[in-house]
Amino acid sequence: MSDQSFITPLQAFYQWERLRPNEIFLSQPLQGDQWRDYTWADVGQQARIIARALQDRGLKHGDTVGLSGANSAYWVITDLAIMMAGGVSVPVYPSMPADKLQYIVNHSDMKILFTDADGASSINNLAATVGDTVTLISLGDEGTRGENTPITPWGSLLEKVAPIDGSPLRADDDLWTISYTSGTTGMPKGVMHSFSTMPRFAATFPQLTPQDNNAVFFSFLPLAHIGERAAIEIHALYVGARIYFNKNLDTFAQDLLHARPTFFFAVPRIWHKLKQGIIASIGDETWQQVLQDPKLAHTVGKQALTALGLERVTTAFSGSAPIAKADLEAWTTLGLPLYEGYGQTEHLSGLSNRPGAVKVGSIGKLQLVEELAQVAQCKVADNGELLLRGQATMLGYYKDPEKTAETIVDGWLHTGDKVRVDEDGFVFITGRVKEIFKTAKGKYVAPAPIEDQFGSLNLLEQLCLVGRGMPQTVLLVVLTEDAATLERDDVDAQLWAALDSVNASLEAHERISHIIICQEPWTPDNGLLTHTLKMKRDEIEEKMLALIKACTEDSSKTIVWEAP
């Protein structure tokens, strides 16, 4: 996309506000079955009011404003308001631990924080965490905000503040956002993007997917994650799509049915859970028949997608982490066009499977399509590491020039992902450069490809291969809810069969000596997943270390259940 044709997300919003003022842009779920719709004109009016409120509170050009809350119309309106007011948005996961939140607030020099924290106790705790130099404003006007708390209600701003005049613009090279990484190996890093780095990649979506101004999106992954922000919020601004929001986990199914999107973006864990739900509803025997019979697959797939609210989807993507081949193949069998893509907070690469260029298990072709030639370029270093560069590359890490220089060398961003490229040019991730470990035998093991071989086993919800310094590798797993209700002998038998099959394909030093069934799922709340649902391998291994050591010293049992 040439510089002459590129417009910023703010310019894209003004375009649709002018062309389609009375058409619905955002749909917010309320209580029960109630929804509140916002037209492009409504959003523009409210964003201009919030922008004025920010300026009235002393916001200067380049000051940072935090956004911490569930996905909502208010989140998007506030994001636009920050752009209009001259600020820099700092998205924050609402489930962020207090120590990391405090770090981000201080590190980003945050002046104002929008939050959907509810009730006096939560708000006062938040105020104590961020300190008295940060102004708190409620994100939306639903629920009880708590009396005698240091927070400005959203509703009072809409009632008392006049909107800013006109449609203020931002320069392409203005700092747009500081998006903090999930902090897998320490405190989060602040990734800086201008109005023409990551948004320039999102602006290519209309060329790569058949979405237009009749498109419908469903937003449920955290908007603090750059993948959701690019694929849903910024993508919608460029194509003029309508966005429905998910209220919470309990209403996910009914909200998705209400929205019936035409484009759907999810992480592998969601795709796996949805697939498991279909299998549970039809039974494993019927599912095996579906995999073998195209006619039955078409019938079952049509029914299942309609029941989920996904029957109108023309393009779907999986990202953020590798997806099991079995899950990709399952959705293809059911008739959903699901493509695996790749990107990082630092650079949304453009690497992705797409119509006419698909190879299951890959992240797309190394040679990108023409539309992305200037936006993103890819190559593989001598050590197998994937390198990226182009207009979509981050500006750098906020206040960390040393880490920036370490990550971007000679213009190439070092992703930390090891890959291989096949004879057709498709790229396959083989693991993280730092995740590849050496066993006691002195040979290296890449865990990701081995974990992927267990993907067709419907028993497993999560799995993590460890083995640094050990005689053999050990596989840690968490069962699905359905598998956890089965007899242990049945589970053991299926795991034994899978283990024998996988080990037969591995080199001697890679072979798995034990499978340990963990009692507790890995979640962000217990610190074993990041807020973007990536595994924290070191933490998982550390938590299970005592049992791992006991297993490696005792070869009498290969399948070991962690005691409750």
Half-sphere exposure of 254 (CA within 13 A, CB side): 12
How many domains, the chain?
A: 2
- For residue 142, the model assigns a pLDDT of 64
Which is more confidently placed, 469 or 370?
A: 469
| Separation CA 293–CA 327 (nearest Å) | 17
What tens digit of pLDDT does each residue of 204-245 get? 887 778 788 899 999 999 999 999 999 999 999 999 999 999
| Statement: residue 288 has pLDDT above 90 | yes
Secondary structure of residue 418 in the 3-state scheme: strand
Helices (H) and strands (E) in the chain, counts: 20, 25
Contact 170, 142 (CB under 8 A): no
Specify if 50 maps to a domain. yes
Q: What is the torsional sign of CA 115, 118, 122, 128?
A: positive
Q: Strand 559-561 vs strand 377-380: parallel, antiparallel, or unpaired?
A: unpaired
Specify if 411 maps to a domain. no
| Separation CA 281–CA 128 (nearest Å) | 47
| Separation CA 64–CA 87 (nearest Å) | 6
In which domain, by residue range, is 535 found?
A: 437-561
What tens digit of pLDDT does each residue of 67-96 get? 999 999 999 999 999 999 999 999 998 888
| Separation CA 456–CA 361 (nearest Å) | 13
Specify if 312 maps to a domain. no
- For residue 2, the model assigns a pLDDT of 40
Specify if 253 maps to a domain. no
- For residue 65, the model assigns a pLDDT of 97
Which of 222, 239, 256 corresponds to the end of one domain? 239
Specify if 283 maps to a domain. no
Which is more confidently placed, 357 or 303?
A: 303
Per-residue b/e over 302-322, b at no fewer than 16 CB within 10 Å?
eebbeebbbeebebbbbbbbb
Q: Which amino acid is at 173?
A: D
Specify if 183 maps to a domain. no
Half-sphere exposure of 529 (CA within 13 A, CB side): 16
Contacts for 252 with CB less than 8 Å, ≥ 6 apart: 220, 246
User: What is the CATH number for 17?
Assistant: 3.40.50.980
| Separation CA 171–CA 86 (nearest Å) | 10
User: What is the CATH number for 476?
Assistant: 3.30.300.30
Secondary structure of residue 210 in the 3-state scheme: coil
Contact 196, 546 (CB under 8 A): no
Query: What is the average pLDDT score of the chain?
Result: 89
Which is more confidently placed, 12 or 448?
A: 12
- For residue 437, the model assigns a pLDDT of 82
What tens digit of pLDDT does each residue of 291-345 get? 999 999 999 999 999 999 999 999 999 987 778 888 898 999 999 989 998 888 9
Length of the chain: 564
Residue-by-residue DSSP string for 334-389: HT--EEEB--BTTB----B-BTTB--TTS--BSS--GGGTTT-EEEE-TTSEEEEE
Secondary structure of residue 166 in the 3-state scheme: coil
Lowest-pLDDT choice from 26-30, 176-180, 187-191: 187-191
| Statement: residue 99 has pLDDT above 70 | yes
What tens digit of pLDDT does each residue of 542-557 get? 899 999 988 888 778 8
- For residue 125, the model assigns a pLDDT of 87
Lowest-pLDDT choice from 268-277, 371-380, 497-506: 371-380
- For residue 84, the model assigns a pLDDT of 98
What tens digit of pLDDT does each residue of 368-401 get? 766 677 788 899 998 889 999 989 999 999 999 9
Specify if 535 maps to a domain. yes
Q: Which two tokens stand for residue 56?
A: 């009235």
Contact 122, 108 (CB under 8 A): no
Specify if 142 maps to a domain. yes
Q: What pTM did the predictor assign?
A: 0.83
| Statement: residue 534 has pLDDT above 80 | no
**Average pLDDT for 50-77:** 96
